[in-house]
Structure 1
Amino acid sequence: MTFATDLRLAAGLQTDRFGAWLLRQFGDPAGELTRPRAGDSPYPYFARLRAQAPLVRSKAGLWTTARHSTANSILRDRRFGVRDTQNRSSAGTIATALEGLDLDPFMGVDPPVHTRMRGLMNPSFSPSANTTYRPRIERIVTEVLDKAQRQGSFDLVRDFAQPIPLLVIADVLGVPERHRERLGWCAMRVGLVTDQLNGVAKIRELRTLLVELKELFATLIAERKAEGVEDKPTDMIGSLLLAATKQDVPLSEMQALLVTALIAGSENSVNVMGNAVNALLDHPGEWARLKDDPALSANALEETMRFDSSTLMVPRLTHQEVEIEGHVLPPDTPVLVLLAAANHDPEVFPEPERFDITRANAAEHLTFTAGRYFCIGAPLSRLEGEIALRALVERMPNLRRTGQPVFRRSAAFRGLTGMPVAA
């Protein structure tokens, strides 16, 4: 992109921020929901939105829902998508900033492209694939905890919540060990830069990071292809090369899918694990309950995703006229689905502000969304989170904070960037 384009994008970001600030002054949802948060709870505001109506309209034309039933209905309704009727991404300025990089899957695509992309990724992320991943994840968790335990005092995010998902997704993708440290750094930096996309420098950094990742995957694909295509691949690069022998799968498409899988497969899991331990240490009774019965780790993870969702919201656009909750929404109407708010709906989750790792319906949360856009990596995220949380509580039953948790500053995501602890 040219410098003039960079400046235009930066000006657009400034205009968006000023517009959001102005809307906040009038108490408008579009203003409040785009306000970056850094640890302050969004749930009191979500509760006020939920009490107003199933669908609440902003003066800017944005509709939003904080109710579980409405959110679940929209997520499963095929009349809604992630792009408008002109195939423009709901990612807005970020999508414009990444023009020319051939990374549509990273920003979200609709059928039939979405169906094709998901089919190519499915062999690596299906629930059945988890049976082969379990021993590999257990080995990674053991190695990470061995290192942390030798330190005694460590940072929960840097030394536990980050390395496990990054090493797991690198293994699933088929990234050799020599590239994993750099790949992991790039993946985490992409998330942080996206949170802070507020000027020319950040736009350039984001593009540079994504270009580096694309080039790395191009190199790995070429190396693997030269070695010969496997009949029964055990990683995503191998699966894509095998698929390319049966259908047309361009290199740019493989790169986009691998970058998307890397970012989505690491960032969310890092946030989930950090939020889980933070919530457990905030509730000593629940930590004690998990110590007494480590088998509760799977449900504790589900309750964390309900109680302190890593993804606060997702955008949707109507593909046609939709009548819902007494309103008629024309084509291309933007709707913000508040996943975290839905996860605190008392109609579905009694006493939603109570953290209870034995909650019977905790898994009914919408953190992974629902319908055809349901997170393809959810089974893997659940497996690695369950294994990691169980190992942590078994090996470090006296884990305690030695400093305050530090939250990422983001409007759409909730997670930690640091939390000092001691075993």
Structure 2
Amino acid sequence: MAQNPVKQRIQWFAVHGVIRGISKVFARRGDPQGRLLIDPDIRANPVAFQDELRARGPIVKCRAIYMTVDHKVANDLLRSDEFHVFGLGTNLPKPLQWLATRTRPDLLHPIQPPSMLSVEPPDHTRYRKLVSSVFTPRAVAALRDRVQDAANTLLDDLEDEEGTVDVVDRYCSQLPVTIIGDILGVPDEARPHILEFGELGAPSLDIGLTWPQYQKVYRGIEGFNDWLSNHLHELRRNPGDDLMSQIIRGSETAEGGPLTHKELLATAGLVLAAGFETTVNLLGNGIRMLLDNPGHLQTLAAQPELWPTAVEEILRLDSPVQLSARIAAEDTEVEGTRIRRGEGIIVYLAGANRDPKVFADPHTFDLQRENAGKHLSFSGGRHFCLGAALARAEGEVGLRTFFERFPDARLAGVGSRRETRVLRGWASLPITLGTARAMSSPA
């Protein structure tokens, strides 16, 4: 059922509108958090801003929150029992929390319970154990073969294309939607819904949305909730061999009792959103970075064993997930700064990934970097991304196969970035493919 328009407006005002208005004032006064939320230049190119924060120390105090781009601090926070994840709006001032709670729509959201992104043990342990039992190394290895087959098929379809192609629309989004559709048992004819809902719902991780952005996000989440709920009911009636059917079966005998439909819906939704949205960005970011570094493409053609390192460097330098956040569960101290219970810290993953204390010459795309995999793009600790191995496989196979097939691909325009801050990727990326090369055998 659609939310009452008045309640919807109040919900936006409480969770986003006030924050956006205050952030504009704070940004004019130089507040880092306000600038992060408001400044389009930081969204377009955040590296200079990250370096500015780094120069201010390991913990940066903002008007309403703390921030860090320090790799050690970020790594420790992600693993600390003294800091927890939290749901959207739960750290607002009390009056706004009251408004947000009473106008919240009865829809699942990626950063509201029971999503794994916003709960801690024991609930988090229960949900994670269920998904981990399905995403085994053997299952991921089998999916890698499926990634290769899907990449070959998609690139076959591009061979006869002339002129300019939007590689995000025709390849970067189609490859992960094929794989995640297989995982979730989604029939081919329903897979365009994943693309549609992903595009509408991607900004849902951001705070301070405009009213038009919030309306688009709401439509996307509402449509996705309805579709996924019906899909899970259908899989219960007619289970298949897909991983989601296995999760449904496992949820009925889960430790701690069967998952409710809402818990299962949240778990399935997160698997879909995390497995699709971030990989689209990884592939798009990777293609753009490699086209900007043609010397690296020549090296990779001669030394294909360097592809895993190339993917780690792409993840490090242009992380698909830029930001995370934690809230202090008790009074504590971080690097000499006293953090009180209930105060939050923005963990700037993308900034930590360029910490010169960990990564020598951190802004350089280095195919020989020995510690490239120390990035925090998949978070860390108990909330480390369950799909990291699959994302790496999709990145490596998807990028390698693309450039093996189209070694003469070139940029045909500047493209456009997605209007999101937490997620970073390309909305469109026009390229000229050039002459296709005969398909090579998988490495």
Q: 1:29 to 1:379 in 2, by over 3 A?
A: same
Distance 1:34 1:306 in 2: 22
Match of 2:9 among 4, 7, 10: 7
Q: What is the Cα deviation at residue 411 of structure 1? A: 2.4
Tell whether 2:131 aligns with 1:121. yes
Q: 1:209 matched to which residue of 2?
A: 220
Tell whether 2:167 aligns with 1:179. no
Tell whether 2:104 aligns with 1:101. no
Does the 8 Å CA contact 2:331/2:338 hold for their aligned counterparts? yes
Tell whether 2:25 aligns with 1:22. yes
Q: 1:76 to 1:207 in 2, by over 3 A?
A: same
Q: 1:330 matched to which residue of 2?
A: 340
Does the 8 Å CA contact 1:76/1:372 hold for their aligned counterparts? yes
Q: 1:390 matched to which residue of 2?
A: 400
Q: What is the Cα deviation at residue 197 of structure 1? A: 6.9
One-letter amino acid matched to 1:66: V
Deviations 1:18-77 (A, max 9, x none): 2111111121111122235476321111112112111111122x1111111111111111
Equivalences for residues 297-316 of structure 1 within 5 A: 297-316=307-326
User: For structure 1, which segment, 322-331 or 240-249, has the greater mean C-alpha deviation from structure 2 after superposition?
Assistant: 240-249
One-letter amino acid matched to 1:348: V
Q: 1:316 to 1:270 in 2, by over 3 A?
A: same
Tell whether 2:256 aligns with 1:252. no
Equivalences for residues 203-352 of structure 1 within 5 A: 203-227=214-238, 233-245=241-253, 247-352=257-362
Q: What is the Cα deviation at residue 183 of structure 1? A: 2.4
One-letter amino acid matched to 1:8: I
User: For structure 1, which segment, 186-195 or 280-289, has the greater mean C-alpha deviation from structure 2 after superposition?
Assistant: 186-195
Tell whether 2:149 aligns with 1:139. yes
Distance 1:87 1:31 in 2: 17
- CA RMSD of the aligned region, Å? 2.5
Could you say what secondary structure the match of 1:34 adopts? helix
One-letter amino acid matched to 2:228: F
Does the 8 Å CA contact 2:19/2:208 hold for their aligned counterparts? no
Distance 1:98 1:125 in 2: 32
Does the 8 Å CA contact 1:36/1:411 hold for their aligned counterparts? no
Q: Where do 5+ consecutive residues of structure 1 fail to align?
A: none
* Identical-pair percentage: 29
Q: What is the Cα deviation at residue 204 of structure 1? A: 4.1
Does the 8 Å CA contact 1:275/1:308 hold for their aligned counterparts? yes
Q: 1:36 to 1:244 in 2, by over 3 A?
A: farther
TM-score (ref. length: structure 1): 0.91
Q: 2:60 matched to which residue of 1?
A: 56
User: For structure 1, which segment, 75-84 or 239-248, has the greater mean C-alpha deviation from structure 2 after superposition?
Assistant: 239-248
Distance 2:401 2:249 in 1: 35
Does the 8 Å CA contact 1:141/1:388 hold for their aligned counterparts? yes
User: How many residues of Structure 1 are paired with residues of Structure 2 in the alignment?
Assistant: 417
Q: 2:78 matched to which residue of 1?
A: 75
Tell whether 2:166 aligns with 1:155. yes
Could you say what secondary structure the match of 2:269 adopts? helix
Q: What is the Cα deviation at residue 195 of structure 1? A: 5.7
User: For structure 1, which segment, 18-27 or 123-132, has the greater mean C-alpha deviation from structure 2 after superposition?
Assistant: 123-132
Does the 8 Å CA contact 1:98/1:207 hold for their aligned counterparts? no
Distance 1:379 1:37 in 2: 33
Q: 1:216 to 1:273 in 2, by over 3 A?
A: same
Distance 1:197 1:150 in 2: 44
Distance 2:123 2:108 in 1: 13
